[in-house]
Structure 1
């Protein structure tokens, strides 16, 4: 299982603490592999884009108008977190639903 997020994100830290066997990928340093990003975008659509983030607020209107997948490739920190890849099944966020699907409290 891989957990894509930011090492400074409290939600990602909570998820990682509950999933000690997960491999953590810091999207700021390592990015998100293109196939993973494409598959996650196909599943979640624009919900994958965090429009409440500091990164989003720092973008110009022209940049915000770009296609979401293109924006995520250029600015991986715009991705909602964490993105969890469990054997090809993607889960987004650290919601009660995500925790239930992973079998953690």
Structure 2
């Protein structure tokens, strides 16, 4: 009968089982602590990497904005130069035209 077997199990066996379970529990607690440490380390590493990449991105954006400003300035200068030369050519042509008459 199953009920008689379980009730007839010795106190020594029960004590042994409790010790075994306590050992299992201690092992689990230890592993949990290790996992938490590992997790925390990984989180810290991720945060550092994110900060680095974020800063690199910011620097890149600043550089690109600077270059963009320089390019816009260069374009403006070229337009001015082109406009001035065009005007000079137009003036000299009209002057030549007037001289020829």
Compute the TM-score of the two structures, normalised by the length of structure 2.
0.18
Structure index of larger Rg: 2
Between 1 and 2, higher relative CO (CA 8 Å, sep ≥ 6) is seen in 1
Compute the TM-score of the two structures, normalised by the length of structure 1.
0.18
Larger strand proportion of the pair: 1
